[in-house]
Amino acid sequence: MFGHQLESRMELTDTRRTVLRALAVGGTGAGALSGQVSAATRTITVEGGGADIWDTEDAFHFYYTPLTGDFDISVHVESMDDTDPWAKAGLMVRQRLAADAENAMLRYTPGNETSVQWRSDDGDETDSTTSDDVGIGAMDASWLGLVREGDTITGYGSTDGSDWTRIARLTTDHLDMSEDTYVGLAVTSHDRGTLCSTTFDSLSGLEPTENRDIGDVAVPGSVTTSDGTDEGSGDTGAGETVTPGTYRLVNVNSGKVLDVAGVSQENGATLHQWEDLGNPNQHWEVEHLGDGEYRLTASHSGQVAAVANAATKDGADVRQWPWSDQDNKRWRIEPTGDGAYLLRAVHSGKVMDVTGARTGDGANVIQWPAKGSANQQWRFEPVEEDGENDDGGSVEPVSQFTPDAGFASTDWFDDDVTVHRVQEPTRGAVEAAFQASGSRLVVFETSGTIDLGGETLAITEDRCWVAGQTAPSPGITFVNGMVQVDANDCVVQHVRSRIGPGSDGNIQGNDSLNTADDTRNNVVDHVTASWGTDECLSVGYDTSGITYTNNLVYEGLYDPYGDGSDHNYGTLVGDGADDVTLAGNVWAKCRSRMPRLKSGTRSVVANNLVYYFDEGAIADDSAETSFVGNTYLGTVASGDYVLEGGSAYLEDNVVADPPLDSDASFTDSDVLDSRPLWPDGLDVLSSGDVEGHNLANAGARPADRTADDRRIVEEIEERAGNDRLDSPYEYWIPNPDAVGGYPELPENTRSLSVPDSGLRDWIDRWARAVEDPGASPP
């Protein structure tokens, strides 16, 4: 429209006044540009907030489209709210979508003449044709025209859309934009907490496709049109700026990724930046919620990025929190024009920011007013889905020892099992699933502490798989009662049981968890068992095919009733138990029975770790055991045998920190020349690898440990009891209160999507997610 009418460039001097006079050429072209502008008849209403489009950073609403090369655009300002004499509406071209980007604007205001302003480079001060020392380059005009031809940008004004006056011409002496720009309608209220509504019509030469707030805007803007189209608020007209999927979010300033600190699954865990390790706590599931708003969900925990306490203040932390439909958990994803995005909290209008523009690991992520700076910009890099393993899709185990490592078989489990969902952390809800008939899988859609009321909670029907790994963080803990497997063909995984002393004053039989007498083919894997008054984790009498792997057993209670009883024991294998496997377990801070192998038992005790004990393992004369690759640390009686009695095949067992006395022996057992029994699926580690492996893998949720489990692991690593080897009762505990009492875990919930097929693979993937800090849930 205007391009062919542009006058030749005027020679510009170095003085600012001369430059501005050259830009403002009033009255030229009024007769030459004849005829009414032809344009679409629809109206466009842009509502914009923000303090101003000025200084070094802007705050406004922008309805725009990306353009390459020349353009020739005009529009009429039909009406504009008078929120301030210097509220602005008009045509704008921007190099980027950041708040401090290089730009030029032909601006209409409620209280001043139409004029041109520009920012010469990113972060520079804005200049205009109405600066204080220059009173030219402005006119009364509600019709605006903006033209680019090569490197020159020219602004025109008109009172009727027919006769046009050139207001200013910008050359490379003023700004130097690349060919790729963003061009559109801009509105700022000049009042940060107020929206200015401006209606445009007769837009020609431009078809905006996207709209968003730029900079620190407290009240989100929007775009509507007279043809009934609501272009939405602060996002693209199409609704989505990023395709839903799983991404790593890379900070432009540091190159580091958005990370949940410590791979935590706890509510309120800090979000910070960290080196990309490829872990699920660095992977974010991006879901479009509509209206240009998104949910960002951490892959490892299922919790979402949220501004803590829904705070609106500058510097409020961004943390992970369970999803609820609140605006502090919703984000707008706004492109900056460089393949990066701002993440704007819906409730506050502030953006996700790496504090202090730091570049090191661990810098906190906060909310801050949008400046468009690199530490507020994030790139979305898609995360590729893991493929199948070489074995045809089975999940690679984390631990050396799987539930099938021993003599027990899990072949009974298939896709025909009934799924029982535990949806509240109560004894009744769990008991209904534990005691239902038929082959079944028990999954948990809640976390929490379940008080058993001083009574035993038993699995009484065969073929029950308890998948504690499916519970939301921090998982399931049973207290004040024993958990017992009183059935055959069962698996219990990834729960904690802490019986405590109860109130009956009876030590005998009060284990935290055990398999009942005369049961067979049962597995207890990745369980935490503590605070028992008899043993903490035991195997019943006359059982067969029992496998205990990767369990964390600790702090049997000494003298829990104040009567001088001294029964703080680890694990008993009852008379007549056959084909028992104890592998990859940790026993800590128990006086004895790690393990106790009673009469007629046949067992494999392999790659277990024991810390802080008086008597280690005891076997009756008729017991047979393959005792391989075990590590015993922190003995309070370095002159005693570690394994007493029975018949044993011994290989690669170690006593250290302190070692045995020079004249002491590891065992007085009848030593066998070969293993009396050994399961086909068991491969052992060197004893030198046992401590590191077991501390990384034992317990209910190694990647999501609760405070007590974490405390025990740290005490073992630090040899915390070694300065009390001469007074062990100062380190053993009499009751849970000595270490803070029963835990009160949060009750987090989620809905599980249980597949119709591939159930074993599905529960194994859930297991991996709570065992391996780098694994994702299915």
pLDDT of 510 higher than 80: yes
Kindly write down the DSSP assignment for every residue of 54-121, as one continuous string. ETTEE-EEEEEEEEES-EEEEEEEEEE--S-TT-EEEEEEES-SSTT--EEEEEE-SSS-EEEEEESS
pLDDT of 86 higher than 60: yes
Give rounded-to-5 percent helix, strand, coil for the chain: 10, 35, 55
Instruction: With cut-offs at 50, 70 and 90, classify the pLDDT of residue 30.
Output: very low
**Residue listed under structure tokens 């591939």:** 758
Query: How far is 771 from 552, CA to CA, in rounded Å?
Result: 13
Out of 127-136, 240-249, 399-408, 726-735, pick the least confident: 127-136
Among 198, 232, 266, the domain-final residue is 232
Q: Of all helices (H) and strands (E), which one includes residue 538?
A: strand 537-538
Query: How far is 643 from 622, CA to CA, in rounded Å?
Result: 14
State the amino acid at position 114 in one-letter form.
T
CATH of the domain at 105: 2.60.120.200
Query: How far is 355 from 377, CA to CA, in rounded Å?
Result: 12
Q: Of all helices (H) and strands (E), which one includes residue 573?
A: strand 572-573
Q: Which domain holds residue 16?
A: 3-232
Residue 252 and residue 195 in one domain? no
CATH of the domain at 588: 2.160.20.10
pLDDT of 8 higher than 80: no
Q: What distance lies between CA 235 and its chain's CA centroid?
A: 24
Instruction: With cut-offs at 50, 70 and 90, classify the pLDDT of residue 97.
Output: confident
Residue 97 lies in a domain: yes
Residue 82 lies in a domain: yes
Residue 667 lies in a domain: yes
- pLDDT, average across residues 576-582: 98
CA-to-CA dists, residue 324 to 77, 305, 487, 669, angstroms: 42, 11, 40, 61
pLDDT of 329 higher than 80: yes
Query: How far is 154 from 145, CA to CA, in rounded Å?
Result: 8
What is the per-residue pLDDT across 587-605, written as a single tens digit (0 to 9) for each?
999 999 999 999 999 999 9
Among 205, 232, 259, the domain-final residue is 232
Residue 412 lies in a domain: no
What is the per-residue pLDDT across 708-736, written as a single tens digit (0 to 9) for each?
999 999 999 999 999 999 999 999 999 99
Residue 192 and residue 251 in one domain? no
State the amino acid at position 78 in one-letter form.
E
Residues forming beta bridges with residue 53, ordered by sequence position: 58
What is the per-residue pLDDT across 653-681, written as a single tens digit (0 to 9) for each?
999 999 999 999 999 999 999 999 999 99
pLDDT of 36 higher than 70: no
- Cβ proximity of 226 and 202 under 8 Å: no
Residue 180 and residue 49 in one domain? yes
- pLDDT, average across residues 297-306: 92
CA-to-CA dists, residue 254 to 140, 272, 273, 388, 762, angstroms: 47, 12, 9, 33, 37
Out of 1-5, 82-86, 336-340, 750-754, pick the least confident: 1-5
CB neighbourhood size of 26 (10 A): 13
Residue 334 and residue 454 in one domain? no
Out of 75-84, 337-346, 599-608, pick the least confident: 337-346
Query: How far is 145 from 205, CA to CA, in rounded Å?
Result: 10
Mapping DSSP to helix (H, G, I), strand (E, B) and coil, where does residue 692 land? Answer: helix
CA-to-CA dists, residue 511 to 389, 430, 555, angstroms: 39, 19, 12
Residue 259 and residue 227 in one domain? no
Residue 16 and residue 136 in one domain? yes
pLDDT (0 to 100) of residue 496: 98
What 3 state SS string does 277-327 have?
Answer: CCCHHHCEEEEEEECCEEEEEECCCCCEEEEHHHCCCCCCEEEEECCCCCH
Please tell me the number of Cα atoms within 13 Å of 381 on its side-chain side.
15
How many residues are present in the chain?
778
pLDDT (0 to 100) of residue 314: 93
- Kindly give the residue spans of alpha helices, DSSP state H, lying in 351-505: 427-434
pLDDT (0 to 100) of residue 27: 36
| Burial of residue 661 (number of CB atoms within 10 Å: 0-12, 13-18, 19+) | exposed
Residue 209 and residue 293 in one domain? no
pLDDT (0 to 100) of residue 588: 98
Burial 368-395 (b: 16+ CB within 10 A, else e): bbbbbbbbbbbbbeebeeeeeeeeeeeb
> Which of 417, 469, 431, 461 lies closest to 265 in space, CA to CA?
469
pLDDT of 364 higher than 70: yes
Residue 226 and residue 317 in one domain? no
Query: How far is 470 from 551, CA to CA, in rounded Å?
Result: 18
Quote the Cα angle for 491-495-501, to 5°.
Answer: 115
Percentage above 70 pLDDT, the chain: 90
Per the structure, how many domains does the chain have?
A: 3
Q: Residues 6 or more apart from 325 whose CB is under 8 A from it?
A: none
Mean pLDDT score across all residues of the chain: 89
Residue 604 and residue 651 in one domain? yes
Instruction: With cut-offs at 50, 70 and 90, classify the pLDDT of residue 216.
Output: confident
- The interaxial angle of helices 687-697 and 707-718, nearest 10 deg, is 160
CA-to-CA dists, residue 702 to 386, 398, 427, 739, angstroms: 22, 10, 25, 20
pLDDT of 390 higher than 90: no
Residue 214 lies in a domain: yes
pLDDT of 360 higher than 50: yes
pLDDT (0 to 100) of residue 775: 83
pLDDT (0 to 100) of residue 229: 58
Residue 167 lies in a domain: yes
Residue 316 lies in a domain: yes
- pLDDT, average across residues 193-197: 92
Q: Between these two residues, 564 and 589, which has the higher pLDDT value? A: 589
Query: How far is 138 from 124, CA to CA, in rounded Å?
Result: 22
Query: How far is 347 from 212, CA to CA, in rounded Å?
Result: 16
Residue 573 and residue 710 in one domain? yes
Residue 149 lies in a domain: yes
- Reading the block at residue 291, the tokens are 């209206």
Q: Of all helices (H) and strands (E), which one includes residue 613?
A: strand 609-613
Residue 170 and residue 305 in one domain? no
Query: How far is 466 from 420, CA to CA, in rounded Å?
Result: 10
Among 200, 232, 264, the domain-final residue is 232
- pLDDT, average across residues 426-445: 97
CATH of the domain at 311: 2.80.10.50
Query: How far is 569 from 598, CA to CA, in rounded Å?
Result: 14
> Which of 631, 639, 637, 659 lies closest to 716 in space, CA to CA?
631
pLDDT (0 to 100) of residue 503: 59
- Reading the block at residue 507, the tokens are 């030590």
- pLDDT, average across residues 103-108: 96
Query: How far is 265 from 281, CA to CA, in rounded Å?
Result: 9
CB neighbourhood size of 160 (10 A): 12
Burial 614-624 (b: 16+ CB within 10 A, else e): ebbbbbbebbb
Residue 466 and residue 553 in one domain? yes
- pLDDT, average across residues 738-759: 93
Query: How far is 265 from 297, CA to CA, in rounded Å?
Result: 12
**Residue listed under structure tokens 């600190």:** 261
pLDDT (0 to 100) of residue 516: 97
pLDDT (0 to 100) of residue 308: 94
Query: How far is 754 from 413, CA to CA, in rounded Å?
Result: 15
Query: How far is 33 from 257, CA to CA, in rounded Å?
Result: 54
Instruction: With cut-offs at 50, 70 and 90, classify the pLDDT of residue 760.
Output: very high
pLDDT (0 to 100) of residue 617: 98
pLDDT (0 to 100) of residue 130: 72
